[in-house]
Chains A and B, each alone.
Chain A
Amino acid sequence: MVTIGTVIVLVSLLSMITGILGTKGYSAVTLTMGYCGIVLLGIGASNILNKKYVFFVTIFLSSTALYGLALVRYEITGSKESTNIAIWPGTILLAIGIILFTYIILKLNSSLSNRRKIYQTFSLIMFNLGALGIVAKHLIAPGLHCYACPWATAGCPIGLLQNWVIMGEIPYYLLGYFLTLFAIVGRAFCGWACPFGFLHDVVDKITNVKYSRTNLSHDLYRIKCILLRKKISGMPKKSARPRLDHLGALTYLTRTIVFIALILFAWEFVDTMFCKLCPAGLLEAALPYRLSHNVFSDTLFVMRVVIFTSLLLIAIVVSRFWCRFFCPLGHLAGHFNRFSLLRLKLDESRCISCGLCKKACPMELSPELFLKKQQEKRSIPNIIFDTINKEQTNCTLCGECVEACKRVSGALTISFDYKPQFSVPRPQFKLPKIKIKREREPRIQESTNKFTTTVTRPAPKPPIPKVDAPRVHIWKRPVYIDVFYKSHTELSNPIMRLEGSSDYIVHKHNIYYDEKSADYYKAVYSGFVETPIIITNGQLYTGPVNNVNAFLQFVRRVEETYNDIYISCNAQRCTNICKQKTCSNIIGTLDIKSNEKYPLSSFNAKSPGAILASCHYDGLFALYGKGAHVPLIRAHHGSMVQTPKRGISDKNIQELRRLPVVTIEMFLKKDSDISNDIINNVLRASFYSGGKLRYFITEWEGKMPEIYVNSKKIPSYLHPSTFATLLFIIKQYAK
């Protein structure tokens, strides 16, 4: 990939210098090809070096170099003429480039917020390709970018709309563009492509001062009271949750007024009146033009500057102020948010109403609220007068709420819903009637006397039998489930229903009321925001809480791993050293003999790690395979017995407790000494990590074991046959 990328970049650079592919040397072909090469180069380099930031650094440096070279070339040629790209081939090439870049960005293994920033930067470059002399003014930019800007690549949709109003014709091309764009992405271009929206984001990022929605709502109410001379005493408290329709309706109203005004003014004055006051136009066109031509003294210009400055100042405290209150393009697109293929979705069963989405939203919306209400009302709503829709028209699908939600419950997602759902027609034919013979119920003898005082009660309904938990597998030993939770509502998930079966033993730990549980939670799971935390047979379950099948699959995989693990006892150590009998609870009444191997089902323990850790003197150890020979036999030189070295100190335990979730997949040969050494370390480490170190063992015929940490293969010289090596591997590979 690096080679291909490098070759493409070199060819495009060569073309820029010599002008082979384009007459001016900076044609759309060259530039698009160069960018594709850069992306390939970035991906390849980041894969090789295994560092994500390498991708961004490569993209940035290469883009800067390419852009710089193009500018130099532009200066050398000295031509001020711009190159209109050939209408159809150029447009198709440009579209392919953009789609390819979009696809790569969406597939990047980075946060949505980072991907959005990259895409906004890319869009800014694409919107200003006119700086390189590449213009495609027959296209329409998906965003507010003035076509009068000397660098503009494409036309502004609002400017074009006004021109068509002035001409008094139906804008088919523009209408088609609007409908196509909005049907696919809704208002997402505001959050991902619009340069003026990007400016607002930058202002937000720099100042980072936010005037909360509650406060804004409160102060608007105060102004209303003063204007209407109402008593302010009835004012809602600042902490009160604002109503859904309060601010949404206001922003909707202001945007509607701006949109109608721009149409009416264009019609009435036969001029692009909105453009004369547009703040984006001032920044991108009027200001550069006036500065370059020394034309300053103009009332209209001063008015525009005042508008722009005040807008920017308000944007410092009210994020995305223009987009929320005035943007006519966003207003049009917002109506399609409900219907677009790219949509925000809420999984109600996973939503815990934490309100994080609302806090994260730059438009200060409550995605949870409007999506829930929308799902309640399944029918097509009144597009204009629906309150929920008004709120939703402000959503730019920036994904900040999704990012925030991902940290807690992952209920919110953004995705393309491209599968059409057709309503199933009712069958026209009649199904043949099947006669079912019913057993006659014994009739209750009706009393002939109408005025009898004795009332015959109907026979009581038979009690509904308790539905047992799904018994997919009959486990050899019970499945132990430990649940750490904050509130009882978290226990209403389907996994908790398994408690009804004798195969499942559920221990519930409330981390607010149970001190011991709270301490353990703080020590081991403090990094987890999401509750409930479910530990099954000593291993942490991180799958969906509502999916019992996924849970059972996980349990089965764990149990399959445990099936081949046997516990043996180093009788010499056990009898000679230990006086504490810490293992008594786990071993129970089992009469342990040396040189014997016992399956896990013989012990009263959740995991093999717990069994091993119960002995403080390494008296118990695990064997992979029933045929493995017990290390006790290899005892020599007096009293000390040769056992695998497992020097686990308190410091090590603390380190293990701070671990993130790590999955180790081991391909081990049965009855092998190396395998035994490895599993003894891993089982103990997993126990001390509170199940966050998850392990699965698969039988392997190879001589040397193969180990994968978080799907990354570990080199053969790093096998965790000692505890120190295991810790090193986890630190290195589980980032």
Chain B
Amino acid sequence: MRKRLAPYIILILGIIFLIIGVLPQYDDVTRSRNISSVICLSCLGITNTTSDYLVIDDLTKIQYTEFEQDITIYIFSTETCKSCPRVIAMCQELARFSENVTAIEVKYDNDVELFRELAAMYDSGAESVGVPWVVVTNENNDYKSWLYESYITNYPRPDDIRYIIQVIDMVVELGTAEKNE
């Protein structure tokens, strides 16, 4: 083999791999779009994947009582999000403790349009949202989402369960205030 044939062999190999990657059974193109489209907070070093899973302690359990209103937690995630499973598990645990709380996972890979619509509804550009992103809503569709409540500084890492509870409390307070009015 002469040296000048090498680039052509590499090029042909590359094109073959590209074609294989585009094939529906692999569908690497869609997967790379899904990976790149939504900001990965883990990649930015904001969320943590390596720390231990936080379990609700007894004191928190007492504080976390039955609510008079239904609370829905939307967890925006993607398939390749590294810290999403941890947050989803936390929210599911919260839902397990209370009957009024429902946790819904909105996965980008499953339904891009739904993900975009919901993200746009809760005041965030679809692609500017970082995953995992949690939105807590009540019956009146009042909502709070983490990372946007900058005044809460007690829990710098948003993947802390106490942080989510605090956000839920805020939403409940909003709903209660509206009812009283």
A and B associate: yes
B56 at the A/B interface (Cβ < 8 Å)? no
A81 at the A/B interface (Cβ < 8 Å)? yes
Interface residues of A in 418-448 (CB under 8 A from B): 419-423
Given contact pairs A81-B126, A380-B6, A422-B5, A289 touches B156 in the complex (Cβ within 8 A): no
Contact B125 A138 (CB under 8 A): no
Contact A87 B29 (CB under 8 A): yes
Kindly state the separation between the CA atoms of A153 and B160 in the bound complex, as whole angstroms: 32
Q: Which residue of A lies closest to B128 (CB)?
A: A150
Contact B10 A137 (CB under 8 A): no
Contact B6 A163 (CB under 8 A): no
Contact B80 A163 (CB under 8 A): yes
A415 at the A/B interface (Cβ < 8 Å)? no
Kindly state the separation between the CA atoms of A336 and B37 in the bound complex, as whole angstroms: 30
Instruction: Give A28 Cβ to nearest chain B Cβ, in Å.
Output: 15
Kindly state the separation between the CA atoms of A300 and B42 in the bound complex, as whole angstroms: 11
Q: Which residue of A lies closest to B124 (CB)?
A: A80
Kindly state the separation between the CA atoms of A301 and B48 in the bound complex, as whole angstroms: 12
Contact string, A287-331, partner B, CB cutoff 8 A, digits 1/0? 001100111011011001000000000000000000000000000
Q: Which of A160, A180, A271, A290 sits near B11, CB closer than 8 Å? A: A180
Contact A167 B80 (CB under 8 A): yes
A156 cross-chain contacts in B, Cβ below 8 A: 36
Contact B32 A173 (CB under 8 A): yes
Contact B36 A137 (CB under 8 A): yes
Given contact pairs A80-B125, A179-B13, A272 touches B43 in the complex (Cβ within 8 A): yes
Kindly state the separation between the CA atoms of A156 and B29 in the bound complex, as whole angstroms: 13
Instruction: Give A561 Cβ to nearest chain B Cβ, in Å.
Output: 43
Given contact pairs A155-B36, A295-B147, A295-B156, A172 touches B11 in the complex (Cβ within 8 A): no
Given contact pairs A137-B32, A270-B49, A421 touches B5 in the complex (Cβ within 8 A): yes
Instruction: Give B83 Cβ to nearest chain A Cβ, in Å.
Output: 8
A417 at the A/B interface (Cβ < 8 Å)? yes
Query: Across the A-B interface, how many residue pairs have beta carbons closer than 8 Å?
Result: 192
Instruction: Give A682 Cβ to nearest chain B Cβ, in Å.
Output: 48
Instruction: Give A525 Cβ to nearest chain B Cβ, in Å.
Output: 40
Contact A176 B16 (CB under 8 A): yes
Given contact pairs A174-B21, A339-B10, A420-B5, A269 touches B36 in the complex (Cβ within 8 A): no
Kindly state the separation between the CA atoms of A297 and B156 in the bound complex, as whole angstroms: 7
Interface residues of A in 146-183 (CB under 8 A from B): 146-148, 150, 152, 154-156, 159-160, 163, 166-167, 171-183
Given contact pairs A147-B36, A150-B39, A301 touches B29 in the complex (Cβ within 8 A): no
Interface centre among A152, A295, A380 (most CB of B within 10 A): A295
Contact string, A218-231, partner B, CB cutoff 8 A, digits 1/0? 00000000000000
A34 at the A/B interface (Cβ < 8 Å)? no
Instruction: Give B45 Cβ to nearest chain A Cβ, in Å.
Output: 4
Q: Which of B26, B50, B130 sits near A269, CB closer than 8 Å? A: B50
Instruction: Give B10 Cβ to nearest chain A Cβ, in Å.
Output: 4
Given contact pairs A137-B37, A154-B36, A271-B82, A82 touches B49 in the complex (Cβ within 8 A): no
Instruction: Give A384 Cβ to nearest chain B Cβ, in Å.
Output: 15
Instruction: Give B21 Cβ to nearest chain A Cβ, in Å.
Output: 3
Instruction: Give A585 Cβ to nearest chain B Cβ, in Å.
Output: 57
Would you list 6 pairs from A and B whose C-beta atoms are within 8 A, ordered by A residue?
Answer: A150-B128, A159-B43, A166-B82, A276-B44, A378-B3, A423-B2
The 6 closest A-B pairs by CB, nearest first: A173-B21, A176-B17, A179-B14, A176-B18, A173-B28, A80-B125
